[in-house]
Every structure is written in structure tokens, then in C-alpha cells.
Structure 1
Amino acid sequence: MSSSPAPLALPGMEWPGLLDAERQLVQQLLDGVKAGTVRAPQAWQQLVRDVLRPEQPFQLHQALHAAVFAGWDERVLGPAPIWVPTAADVAGTNVQAFMDRFEGDFAWRAQRTGQPAADWRLLQRVSCANPEGFWSAVLRELGVRFAAPPTRILREAAPDDPDGCVWLPGARLNIAEAALSCPRAPPEAPAILWAAEGRPRDVQAVGREELQRRCYHVASCVAARFRPGTAIAINMPMTVEAVVAYLGIVLAGCSVVSIADSFAASEIAARLRISRAQAVFTQARSEILGVYFKMPGMLPAVGGMASRDVVLRGGKALPLYARVQDAAAPLAVVLPADGAQAPLRLPLRGGDVTWEAFLAGPGGAPRELVAFSPHVANAHEATNILFSSGTTGEPKAIPWSHVTPLRCAADGWAHQDVRPGSVVAWPTNLGWMMGPWLVYAALLNGGTIALYQGAPLGRDFVEFVESAGVEVLGLVPSIVKAWRAVGCLANAGWRRLRCFSSTGEASAPEDYHWLSSRVLGYRPVIEYCGGTEIGGGYLTGTLLQPQAPSAFSTPTLGASLVLLGPEGGQSPHEGGTPCIGELALVPPMLGTSQRLLNRDHFKTYYAGMASCAATGRRLRRHGDEVARLAGGYYRALGRCDDTMNLGGIKVSSVELERVVLERLGEQLLDAAAVGVPTPGGGPELLHLFVVPREAGRDAALLAACQAAIRVHLNPLFKVERLVVVAALPRTASNKVMRRVLRDQLAVAPRSKM
């Protein structure tokens, strides 16, 4: 019947820790569920409201949930929910207000029921079937300002030419200008709230006028040095100055090249080369390292760094400017890590300039007073070049246009329920798609970006969330695991929080039940699965539907999808029965990529794909394996191809193997990298299979492989396990059979590997 955990063995089922009146209510509700007079979701909703509290043992929360849903048949009903919306929860959402006003088409008017969850499913169907009417209404709702409005929403192409369609034909705008001048933003609400590491309660505000002034200042200086269309990289943490630089570059008509601050010099060099970047914004700090490292032995072993620079985040040194130099980068604009006003004492490479000098303009005259008009462009001009790992080793370079951020804004509006004045925090970086997503999803919806300029893993970040009044908190599952391990959410408060959202990697249901229960009255976790090439998500949740941990309750608005079976069969979302398959998207979909800088876009996403049985359009490859559950829910199972998510960072097996074999070629004959989910569900763990030249050096090999990956690829990647084998399984064409290796890990005891 149920796959929920069995009730814990509590003495006489007396539910220790509860008051007598609470025990009576629990028993009354359980009796009602058993008799069929109370539905389990409503019983659970009442327990969450009237009985359960964050300070109670989590085992009590688990036991009560298991008891309430003991008779819940997941094969028929889907996963048991952890959060069930009340009428008040639904009434205040963006989507409910939109549905009350939306005129829609005949199908919408004829089939609407007035029940939020049912009407949501209808709205999602309408968003795919009638993009012209639906997206016109959403753009009006968002109040997006165009210099010239589109002549229509979508100009379609032939079914076998998915990249030939044009979204918003005729539109001209600057999406950064639209974000900075959102008409729905409350005048008193700041654009950014931030706090420095170590001072989480000292929250500073950047008003909308101030942010606009600073972004226009940067844009004026960019325009004085570079022509529109120039690629300019950003390689720095997610700070106020990073947001200012990002929007300033876009205002000037240039393209931001997104490079994560954790990348090694070789990865930075590859992205600069592929994008043909002409400059890079980065950070440095030039004081003596002993100021940072309070304990002996904390100085990381990075060659040459002690004499150059570091930026410290969460106790980890980020030698950003040093890496930029090692990458042979073009002109570097170097910001002080201590803040925009702090002087930079570090000697710079010839040709590089400080932030202060850059803002003074090429001639040394302050450009802040020079009138600047944003570059108004065709909607399909590039604004951002982001990277997504492929299976060939070189990252795919994916341009975002002025249209792509509209997908970010629409997803945030509909799914995370970002409202005018909402404070949104999402620990991320401009090197990953969730960095630009945060900027646009907050500002285009009139919300506020919340930035803690430090690590999100401890109590300081928890206090910042409360102090800043965060309403929408984005996470990756690794953060939640860290919080749970150290217990830093005790008495967190988080009074204004309305929802969590999770992306980047698979989550563990137990961890997310725990997370929901840490806020009085529970809060939903909106799972969010998509990709850089989509500009947002394709599977997620809403505040109108019950949410189960580690499950998706709906495709995103405008996302039509099918699951492909092993024999090529197609199972669409509508009317689809429970199954497992490779997820494919049915184009067209607002925000998805239509070109790559260094690959053939059609070959990458469409070649070899069947046509959709319902529409005749060629399906778009995405590469995720997904399970459809009963009740319209989904669970992500991982990648179908040879990529993995490590701590929310997508990386290919080929990239990892290349680094290991290049650096340890004298010790290794062969190597294969595979990602394996955490037991019980959760983030993937990196396992390395190696064929050594000499036996008996396993511990040394593990340390050497870890060091090679950290220094030459990403210091955040951890090798969970090294498996020494005599040979790797290969196909007749000599391709490594990584799925066979994953299967071996799943069935063999650790001691036998």
C-alpha cells in the first residue's frame, strides 16, 4: 500500500512531547482518517497548524506523518504530501490573482472549475496550446517595458525546423533597463539587501534609484571602451558590485561571459577563448594572508598564491586575480574584495586597471555625470554567454538573449511566487544560470535580491535570512545536508519565509521533510529542474498544489514534455501513466536556446530525436531520466548521458577523466568517473575507477586524483571513493561503459570493490 516510512515505535503511541489536548487532537484526527471521515491531507494540514513545532524532535514529525498517511496508496494517489496549501496560502499568490483576471480562450472559460489545483492544471495546458494568448497576458502582468513592442508572441517555423521559430518578433528592448525600471516595484522596497561575511545582522540596503545610477555609471564606462556585442567576463563572487557590473555590461549592449569563482585557471581560459572575451571583471585582496587565517595550517597549498592575492569566502581562499592572470586573460578590471570603496594595494599586471580607475573613464574624467542611454536591441541579441558541460569535455557555450530572462521572470512569478517587494535569497554565483536567474526573477517582478557575501553553510547565513526578511529562499540539497549535520537551524525564526526552492541536484526526501519542519507551520519546498539552455525550469511545483518532498508537482508554464521509453514509445504529461523514461521537450518553448557558440545546435539537441506523436514537432533532447508518479508528480533520477551534478555543478565524466589522466599519466593507464546518488536519495557522489600502472598505492592515488581535480578543474569537487580495477568495461567501439560501472557500485558491497 504505502511507501511512507513506518510509524516509529513510540510508547503506547502516546506521542511524547505533546500536551494532553494535542494528543487528543492527534488521536481524533487519526481515528477520522481511519474511518474515512477525514482526508489524510487535511488531517496533516491541521497537525502542522495546531500541533507540530520546529523545536520538537524531528522523529515526532516523521512518526505523525507516517501515522496519518499509513493507508495512503502512493501507487494510486502519488507521494504523500508534506505541505498542503490552505485557502489563505492560495489566495495571495500571483497565479491565483492572474487566473481570476485571465480571459483566456474558449477551453479556459469552459473548463475552469474554481478549484485552484484543477485550474492550475488547465492553465498549464492553455500555456502550451495557446502561447499567443497566454504569454501576451503574462507579459502585461509583468509590466515588461519594450522600446518597440513585438508584432506577435510567436512566429512558428516548420515542424522539423525547431530553431526557426521566433519569439517576440519585432520587439526591441534592453532587458537590464526593464529590470531596473520595473513599474510594479514598490517605491520604498530596496533593490538589494546585503550583509558582509561575519556580520549577518548588519544588513545594508541598495535602493532602486541607487542601483540604477551605479549600473548606468558602469554601462557608460563599458560603452566608452567597447562596442555593443563585445563579450566581457565576470569572475567574482555574488556581491553587490558583481550585480552592478552584470547589469552595466548588458545596459551597454555587451554580453556577459559567466565564469564561476571556483574554476581553475584552465577552465577560465577555456571560457575566455570560446567566448572571445575582451575583458574580465574580477576581485583581489592584497593584505598579508595571516590576517585571514586565524589558525596555523589553514593556508591552502596553491602555488604562488601567498605572494599574489586571495579572496576569502567561508574559510576558503579564492585566488581570483591570480587565476585570471594564469589564464592569460585580456584586460582585467580588478575590484577590491573589501568593498567598492576600499583601496586596492595589489600590484596589477600591465594593462589591467582597478575598479576605481575604470569608473573614472579612459581619460580619467568621471563618467558618472555623463548622460547615458541604454543600448536598445533586437530581442534576440545576446546578453549573456553561459556554459553547460557536455559529454565531449569542452563546455557548451549558450547565449542568452533579451528574451531568455523573461523565462526567469515568469518562472519566479508563477512557481516561486516572487511578488512586488518579495525578498529573494539564493546562494549562487553569476557563473551558473541561477545567478542571472536570481537577478532577473527578483528585479523583473519588483522584488529584492538578498545577498549574503559569505558561505551559506552555517549560523551566520541563517541569521542573515531572518534579518533580511527573506520570503523566498533558494537552495541546493548539499546546503540542507550541511545545516542538518551541524544543527544550525535551531530557533531560526524565519518569520517572513513563504517557500523554499531547490535546484542543481537530486534531493533526499527525509532532508526536505526536515527542512520544511524547521519553520513554524511548515513551508513548501518548490523543486525546480531545468537547465542553462532553457533559461529556467521544465519541472517544478506551485503554491496552489500539495507538495511532496523531492518531487515535482507540475511542468512549468509553457513546458510541454514527454517521457521516452526504451523501445521509443512516448508518454505525454497529460493523461500519462506512471513510468520511467528519458525526458524530452516539445518545442517551441519560451526561453530555450536556439544556437550555441561552439557546437551545432541542431545536432546537439534535435538530431536523431523522433517527432512528437501529438504535434508532429521534432522533440528536443535534454538528457534527464525522470520517473512519473501517480497524481501527476515526478521525480528526477539523474542524467541519461555521461554528466553528473556535484554539489549543484554540472560536469562531464570526460572533463574529470581528462584532468586525472593528464596529471597522473605516469601512474594510471585508464580512468572513468561516474556519479552515484547518495544512499536514500540526494546529491550525486563522485566515484573514480582507475587502472594503475603499479599495484598497491591506492591511498596515494586517491590523494593525487583529488589534488589534480581540485587544482585543475574545481576545488569544490570531492572524490568520494577510488575503485582500483584491472580494466574498464568497454563497448566494441571502445567506449567506456559507465552505466555498467554504476550498476556494479549499486550491487557490490563497499568492501568488495
Structure 2
Amino acid sequence: MATRAKGSVWEIEARDVEAAGLAAADAAAFLAALRSAAAGAADEAAAWAAAATVLRPEHPHALHQLVYYSVYAGWDRAARGPPPYWFPSPADCKQTNLGRLMEVNGPKLLGSAYKDPISSFNLFHKFSVENQETDDSTAIVWRDEGLDDYPVNRMSLKELRTQVMTVANALDTMFQKGDRIAIDMPMTCNAVIIYLAIILGGFVVVSIADSFAPQEIRSRMGISKAVAIFTQDAGVTVLGSVPSLVKSWKGGNCAKGLDWTKIRVLGTTGEASDIDDNLWLSSRASYKPIVECCGGTELASSYIQGSLLQPQAFGTFNGASMSTGFVILDERGIPYPDDLPCAGEVGLFPIYFGATDRLLNADHNKTSSVEIERACNRADEGLLETAAVSIKPTGGGPEQLAILAVLKDRSTSSSYDLNILKSKFQTAIQKNLNPLFKVSYVKIVPEFPRTASNKLLRRVLKDQLKQELSTRSKL
């Protein structure tokens, strides 16, 4: 962490503000505004809610770090869970899709027990899990951009089928079966129709994120050999991201000078989020909430997803999706009681089985690679990101932990002492995770292999490292 946190917001002094990058002439005024805003706060969460109103996107990130980590310096994560940084307002919550749904149906379904979308969130969620209905009469529900005061649009399965067949038949008159057709559109009703029509017509869908720059779109068109593309213009009020992409933005200071004031909510999926990276991302948009999503790739829906009706903490899911029920299991497979802070395996109902290659078992100690990387990312200020993988010794025995690192300034790689870096990683892991974990191998690399959506290819890293160590062993 670039800026050392204080024991509380009240311990921050003018020289700390200056050290965080604010000019001396502005430091005193900022500190006075900060203390005035935090005065009378009942707890750390209330103090942060007040402090966030004083911080501005153009302030140095080190200043955001100083205030955030100082406010929550005494927060007991084990007993209270992760510290929240965003809080739903009674007025805004009723303008969300779920909030409007609850306002209309809450009194009908819950009777006098329903109060408002915030205080009745858990009760409404429990009802949605226990009283599910299957109704396939409506296929898509949406509202057009700029028509917030108009009723929502609905499309039945029959209407959807008709429009999909119309587009598919049109494509059939222009292209050959097997041709690749790209889509570069936001997730609108038309995008759904086009996607299904391409598949129905016997063509291959080439999905291109609508956030890509023209050069990246051109590149993917060439790689996929797409013969056509569907696209449309749209304003951006919702910004989706991948944690690795955010880390890259932060490291390259890509958001400098950009106006993100129109963004009302951010989203992230694909990997576990880094707390400090999310602090940076949310601060660029005046602390708009970051909705975490999980389960989209495997299940075609998110079984855990952030809600705008609950306070949000960085790098954390603030609840389950509506109609999804799950429990947290302890080491014996027994569910923890509701509303009890805990850590364990997620148990879904019905039971879903899957596999992961991200659980490290080095030295017979199981820990998530993401947890190790979070600890190592802050071990040295010159690091952009790290990747933790397990390797099997050529002579047998327990798996060993290897840490690969990418530097912010690649030209400084020759000046880094790997033994010192290894010691820093070891200290960070022992202090924050498990004192029994031992770092066996450290290597600095120019960059990590990634997919087109910027997900880290851990298996490729592991295979490359295995081959390198195998060659070294033979020599």
C-alpha cells in the first residue's frame, strides 16, 4: 500500500494529507472538511459515508487510500464482515428494478411485514426462494433508453420466436451456413434476437464486447474471419469490467482526464476482485457501487450478485440473487446460521458440482490462489500484479508455491533482487494468510497470458513454469 493508514480518521494530520499528494495549500482545508463531515458519526461505516462526500475523483489515489484504510483501521472483519463503502438511499432504492418490483408486490405478498426495499430485502428474498413459479409466457422485459417514464416493454416467447426466425431467414438469403457473423452491441432486446437468429440460421456467433476500441474490434473481426457485424450506438451509464482490466487501468492511469460522472453503476465478473483496485475504480466515478457477479459463465445466470438495495463492500458479494437459496458450510459440511459472519464453502440447492484449478495445496495447506495474490500484490510498491500457482517437485513430495510477478515499470526488472522479493512475499503471506505457507519459487515476467476477455490463463502459466523447471532439473 502506497500510503500508510492511521489508527482512525481522527489521527490523520495535515502532513499525512500532503504526503498523499495534496498540495500544502489545500491540505488544511481538506482536513478541516474531512473532520467536519465525520463529526458525530456513530460508527466507522457512518464516518466513511461522510468522508466519501469530501473525496473527489481528481484527488490522488494515495489520498483515497489514506482516508479509506484509516477510517476502517479498527474494523473487526471477523466479527462484522468486510467494511461497506457504499450505502443504498431510501429514495434511490425505489428507482431500481428490484426496488420497484418490491414496492408493487411487497405489500401484496408480505402484508404488514413489508416496510421498504431496504429493510424488507432479506424477507422478500426469503419469500422469492420459498415461493418460486415457472411462467414462460414472457420471454423478455425491457425499457428503452431515455424512456424511463414509460411502461416497460414485454415480449412473449411467440413474439420472440417470430422475430428470431425473421432475422434468421434474412441472413440465410445473404450468407452461407457456417459463416461467422459478429455482434458488437449492448445487451438489448435486439441483441438477444440477433444472437439467437445467428445460431438458428446455422451461422457462428462472434461476440465482441461493446466496450472495445475500434482497433480492437477490427482485430477481432480479422482473427475470427467474420463476414458481417451487427452494431448500434448507445450511451454509457453502466460500466462492466474484469478485475485484471481494472488493475491495468489503474497501473497505467488510463482514467486520468476522463469524465465518468454519467456512470451510475459499475459491474465486475470473471475473477475475484482486488479491494484496492476497486477502491480506485469506484473513486473515479465518485464512489458509485460496483456490482459483483458470479456464476454467469457456468450457469448462464448469477447465483451470487450484488444488489443496489444492500450496502456494498469492496471485492465482496452483498447477497444472493433473488430466488437463489444457498448456505455457507463449515469444515464438517454443516451450514452456518443465517446472519452470522463466516467463511466456508458455498452450498447451493439443488446441489451443483464443479471443479476449480485455483485451490492451492502447497505443503498440504489449502488456500485460494486469489487470497495469496491479494496479499502479494501489496508486498512491494513496484508490483502491478502477481499470480500464484502450485508446482510438483520432479522428485515427488507435496506441491510447492510459485509466485510470478509483473512490474509496473518493466525496465526495472534487472534491478530487482528475487531473494528480497521472495522474502517480501513470504512475510505478506505469513502475516495475512497462513504462517505455514512457504514460497519456493519467484519469477518476474513481462506479462501474463490472458483470454480475449482478459481472464488470466493460470493453466498456461502452470504449464510454462513446469516446462521451465523440468528443463532446469535436467541440466
Per the TM superposition, whether the score is higher than 0.5 is yes
Q: Indicate conservation of the 8 Å contact 1:52/1:61, yes or no.
A: yes
Partner residue of 1:585? Answer: 348
d(CA) in 1 for partners of 2:263, 2:279? 16
Deviation per residue, 1:427-458 (Å, 9 max, x gap): xxxxxxxxxxxxxxxxxxxxxx987xxxxxxx
Where relative contact order (Cα < 8 A, 6+ residues apart) is larger, the structure is: 1
d(CA) in 1 for partners of 2:52, 2:386? 31
Residue correspondence of structure 1 range 273-288 to structure 2 within 5 A: 278-280=202-204
Q: 1:493 to 1:317 in 2, by over 3 A?
A: closer
Partner residue of 1:113? Answer: 115
Mapped pair 1:680 → 2:374:
yes
Residue correspondence of structure 1 range 312-391 to structure 2 within 5 A: 313=216, 320-321=223-224, 334-336=226-228
Mapped pair 1:89 → 2:81:
no
Deviation per residue, 1:642-681 (Å, 9 max, x gap): 4459xxxxxxx9xxxxxxxxxxxxxxxxxxxx99336226
d(CA) in 2 for partners of 1:242, 1:515? 22
Partner residue of 1:124? Answer: 125
Mapped pair 1:23 → 2:25:
no
Partner residue of 1:75? Answer: 78
Q: Indicate conservation of the 8 Å contact 1:501/1:525, yes or no.
A: yes
Partner residue of 1:41? Answer: 45
d(CA) in 2 for partners of 1:560, 1:485? 38
Q: Radius of gyration: which is bigger? A: 1
d(CA) in 2 for partners of 1:496, 1:65? 24
Provide the aligned length of Structure 1 versus Structure 2.
Answer: 369
Question: Counterpart amino acid of 1:567?
Answer: R
Q: What is the TM-score when the length of structure 1 is the normalising length?
A: 0.42
Partner residue of 2:303? Answer: 538
In the TM superposition, what is the alpha-carbon distance from 1:7 to its structure 2 partner?
2.3
d(CA) in 1 for partners of 2:282, 2:74? 23
Q: Indicate conservation of the 8 Å contact 1:500/1:525, yes or no.
A: yes
Q: Indicate conservation of the 8 Å contact 1:14/1:23, yes or no.
A: no
Partner residue of 1:594? Answer: none
Q: Indicate conservation of the 8 Å contact 2:195/2:205, yes or no.
A: no
d(CA) in 2 for partners of 1:570, 1:472? 36
In the TM superposition, what is the alpha-carbon distance from 1:565 to its structure 2 partner?
2.9
Mapped pair 1:6 → 2:5:
yes
In the TM superposition, what is the alpha-carbon distance from 1:513 to its structure 2 partner?
0.7
Q: Indicate conservation of the 8 Å contact 2:292/2:306, yes or no.
A: yes
d(CA) in 2 for partners of 1:54, 1:490? 9
Q: Indicate conservation of the 8 Å contact 1:562/1:570, yes or no.
A: yes
Q: 1:172 to 1:91 in 2, by over 3 A?
A: closer
d(CA) in 1 for partners of 2:187, 2:44? 47
In the TM superposition, what is the alpha-carbon distance from 1:534 to its structure 2 partner?
2.7
Question: Counterpart amino acid of 1:335?
Answer: V
Deviation per residue, 1:316-346 (Å, 9 max, x gap): 6675456xxxxxxxxxxx515xx67xxxxxx
Aligned mate of 1:517, from 260, 267, 283: 283
Q: 1:67 to 1:717 in 2, by over 3 A?
A: closer
**SS of corresponding position for 1:579:** coil
d(CA) in 2 for partners of 1:26, 1:622? 49
Residue correspondence of structure 1 range 558-637 to structure 2 within 5 A: 558-571=323-336, 574-575=338-339, 577-587=340-350, 620-623=351-354
Partner residue of 1:247? Answer: 193
d(CA) in 2 for partners of 1:716, 1:223? 37
d(CA) in 2 for partners of 1:685, 1:316? 27
Q: 1:689 to 1:528 in 2, by over 3 A?
A: same
Query: For structure 1, which runs of at least 5 residues remain unmatched after alignment?
Result: 132-152, 154-166, 190-211, 227-231, 257-277, 284-310, 323-333, 341-448, 452-467, 588-619, 624-640, 646-652, 654-673, 694-705, 729-753
Question: Counterpart amino acid of 1:218?
Answer: V
d(CA) in 2 for partners of 1:90, 1:642? 36
Mapped pair 1:98 → 2:101:
yes
Question: Counterpart amino acid of 1:621?
Answer: Y
Deviation per residue, 1:572-626 (Å, 9 max, x gap): 6x34x33332212124xxxxxxxxxxxxxxxxxxxxxxxxxxxxxxxx1254xxx
Q: Indicate conservation of the 8 Å contact 2:184/2:232, yes or no.
A: no
In the TM superposition, what is the alpha-carbon distance from 1:481 to its structure 2 partner?
0.7
Mapped pair 1:65 → 2:48:
no
d(CA) in 1 for partners of 2:97, 2:73? 34
Q: 1:710 to 1:621 in 2, by over 3 A?
A: closer
Q: Indicate conservation of the 8 Å contact 1:84/1:546, yes or no.
A: yes
d(CA) in 2 for partners of 1:689, 1:73? 35
Q: Indicate conservation of the 8 Å contact 1:529/1:539, yes or no.
A: yes
d(CA) in 2 for partners of 1:96, 1:113? 12
Q: Indicate conservation of the 8 Å contact 1:675/1:685, yes or no.
A: no
**SS of corresponding position for 1:570:** coil
**SS of corresponding position for 2:204:** strand
Mapped pair 1:505 → 2:271:
yes
**SS of corresponding position for 1:313:** helix
Q: 1:680 to 1:582 in 2, by over 3 A?
A: same
Partner residue of 1:745? Answer: none
Q: What is the TM-score when the length of structure 2 is the normalising length?
A: 0.63
Aligned mate of 2:318, from 535, 539, 553: 553
Question: Counterpart amino acid of 1:528?
Answer: C
In the TM superposition, what is the alpha-carbon distance from 1:214 to its structure 2 partner?
9.7
Question: Counterpart amino acid of 2:193?
Answer: L
Q: 1:723 to 1:214 in 2, by over 3 A?
A: same
Partner residue of 1:32? Answer: 40
Question: Counterpart amino acid of 2:256?
Answer: A
Percent identical pairs in the alignment equals 26
In the TM superposition, what is the alpha-carbon distance from 1:523 to its structure 2 partner?
0.8
Q: 1:30 to 1:241 in 2, by over 3 A?
A: closer
**SS of corresponding position for 2:344:** strand
Partner residue of 1:490? Answer: 256
Question: Counterpart amino acid of 1:313?
Answer: E
Residue correspondence of structure 1 range 187-266 to structure 2 within 5 A: 218-221=167-170, 238-240=183-185, 247-248=193-194, 250=196, 255=200
In the TM superposition, what is the alpha-carbon distance from 1:511 to its structure 2 partner?
0.4
Deviation per residue, 1:182-209 (Å, 9 max, x gap): 5x436879xxxxxxxxxxxxxxxxxxxx
Q: Indicate conservation of the 8 Å contact 1:675/1:684, yes or no.
A: no
Question: Counterpart amino acid of 1:582?
Answer: E
**SS of corresponding position for 1:552:** coil
d(CA) in 2 for partners of 1:478, 1:28? 37
Aligned mate of 1:185, from 136, 144, 162: 144
Question: Counterpart amino acid of 1:25?
Answer: A
Q: Indicate conservation of the 8 Å contact 1:503/1:529, yes or no.
A: yes
In the TM superposition, what is the alpha-carbon distance from 1:546 to its structure 2 partner?
1.6
Q: 1:240 to 1:73 in 2, by over 3 A?
A: closer
Q: 1:528 to 1:622 in 2, by over 3 A?
A: farther
Q: 1:13 to 1:75 in 2, by over 3 A?
A: farther
In the TM superposition, what is the alpha-carbon distance from 1:557 to its structure 2 partner?
0.3
Q: 1:450 to 1:52 in 2, by over 3 A?
A: farther
Q: 1:130 to 1:316 in 2, by over 3 A?
A: same
In the TM superposition, what is the alpha-carbon distance from 1:45 to its structure 2 partner?
1.9
Question: Counterpart amino acid of 2:274?
Answer: A
Mapped pair 1:474 → 2:420:
no
d(CA) in 2 for partners of 1:710, 1:498? 29
Question: Counterpart amino acid of 1:250?
Answer: L
Deviation per residue, 1:503-533 (Å, 9 max, x gap): 111010010011111123x111111111334
Q: 1:686 to 1:233 in 2, by over 3 A?
A: farther
**SS of corresponding position for 1:123:** helix
d(CA) in 2 for partners of 1:692, 1:319? 42
